[in-house]
Amino acid sequence: MAGAIIENMSTKKLVIVGVTLLLFQAFAFMVGGLIAPSPTTAVHYLATKCVDTGKHQQETKWFMPWGPNQCTKLRTFDEAMAKKIEANNIVFAVHIPLPNKEMSPWFQFMLVILQFDIAFKMYNQIEEGAMATIDVGLAYRDDTVSEWTEMAHSFEQRKLNCNFTTTKTFENEGRYYECDLLPFMEVGSVAHKYYLLNIRLPVNERKKINVGIGEIKDIRFVGIHQNGGFTKVWFAMKTFLTPSILIIMIWYWRRITLMSRPPVLLEKVILALGISMTFINIPVEWFSIGFNWTWMLLFGDIRQGIFYSMLLSFWIIFCGEHLMGTTLFATLALGRGQVKMCESSVSANKNFAQPDLHPTKNLQDQTERNRFSVYWKQVGPIVFGSFCLFIFDMCERGVQLTNPFYSIWASDVGTELAMAFIIVAGICACLYFLFLCFMVFQVFRNISGKRTSLPAMSKARRLHYEGLIFRFKFLMLVTLTCAAMTVIFFIISQVNEGHWHWGEHTVQVNSAFFTGIYGMWNLYVFAIMFLYAPSHKRYGDEQTSGQCITVGPRFPGERRVSLA
Residue finishing a domain among 191, 226, 261: 226
User: In whole angstroms, what is the distance from residue 73 CA to residue 262 CA?
Assistant: 76
Q: Does residue 84 come out as left (phi exceeding 0), alpha (psi in the -120 to 50 range) or beta? A: left
In this prediction, residue 82 carries a pLDDT of: 82
Q: Check: CB of residue 307 under 8 Å from CB of residue 274.
A: no
* Helix, strand, coil percentages in the chain from 3-state DSSP, rounded to 5: 50, 20, 30
| Same domain assignment for residues 98 and 202 | yes
Main-chain phi, psi angles of 79, to 5 degrees: -65, -40
Report the pLDDT value the prediction gives residue 150, as an integer from 0 to 100: 92
**Other CB atoms within 10 A of residue 526 CB:** 22
Residue 116 phi/psi, 5-degree rounding, is -90, 140
pLDDT score for 185 = 92
Is residue 359 included in any domain, yes or no?
no
Quick one: which H or E segment has residue 315? helix 296-323
346 domain residue, yes or no: no
Any domain includes 46: yes
Residues 87 and 102 grouped into a single domain: yes
Q: Do residues 87 and 201 lie in contact, with contact meaning Cβ atoms separated by under 8 Å?
A: yes
The greatest distance separating any two alpha carbons of the chain, rounded to the nearest whole angstrom, comes to 112
**81 and 103 within one domain:** yes
Are 521 and 383 in the same domain? yes
pLDDT digits (tens, 9 = 90+) for 420-474: 887 887 788 888 888 888 888 888 887 777 666 677 777 777 776 777 777 888 8
Check: CB of residue 213 under 8 Å from CB of residue 132: yes
> Does one domain contain both 301 and 168?
no
Per-residue pLDDT of the chain (564 residues; tens, 9 = 90+): 347 888 888 888 888 999 999 999 999 999 988 888 888 888 999 999 998 876 555 456 899 998 888 888 888 887 888 888 888 889 999 999 999 899 999 999 999 999 999 999 888 888 888 889 999 999 999 988 888 999 999 999 998 888 988 888 888 888 899 988 888 999 989 999 999 999 999 988 888 888 888 888 999 999 999 999 999 999 999 999 999 999 999 999 999 988 888 888 888 999 999 999 999 999 999 998 988 888 998 898 899 889 988 988 998 888 887 765 444 444 443 333 334 444 344 443 333 333 344 444 454 555 555 677 778 888 888 888 888 888 888 888 888 889 999 988 888 788 888 888 878 877 888 888 888 888 888 888 877 776 666 777 777 777 767 777 778 888 888 888 888 887 677 656 544 433 333 344 444 557 888 899 999 999 999 999 998 888 775 544 443 333 343 333 333 333 333 333
pLDDT value at position 432?
86
Would residue 543 count as lying in a domain?
no
CB-based contacts of 292, cutoff 8 Å, min separation 6: 189, 191, 192
How far, in Å, are 95, 154, 217, 402, 467 from residue 149 at the CA level? 14, 15, 29, 16, 68
**Residue type at 134?**
I
Residue 349 forms part of a structural domain: no
Indicate whether 96 and 144 sit together in one domain: yes
Q: What is the pLDDT of residue 351?
A: 37
The answer on 295 and 163 residing in a single domain is: no
- pLDDT at position 439 is 86
Three-class secondary structure of residue 546 per DSSP:
coil
Q: Is residue 97 reached through a cis peptide bond, with omega within 30 degrees of 0 on the bond before it?
A: yes
CATH number at residue 511: 1.20.1070
Q: Does any domain span residue 252?
A: yes
Residue 524 has what pLDDT? 93
Domain end residue (candidates: 179, 195, 226): 226
Q: Is residue 70 part of a domain?
A: yes
Whether residue 205 is found in the same domain as residue 305: no
Burial class (CB in 10 A: 0-12, 13-18, 19+), 229: middle
Pair 233, 222 in one domain: no
Indicate whether 48 and 30 sit together in one domain.
no
Range of the domain at 503: 2-39+229-332+371-538
Domain boundary among 197, 226, 255: 226
347 within a domain of the structure (yes/no): no
Are 159 and 92 part of one and the same domain? Answer: yes
Write down the pLDDT at residue 505. Answer: 44
Number of domains observed in the structure of the chain? 2
Task: Say if residue 34 is in the same domain as residue 58.
Answer: no
Instruction: State residue 60's pLDDT score.
Output: 61
What pTM does this model have?
0.79
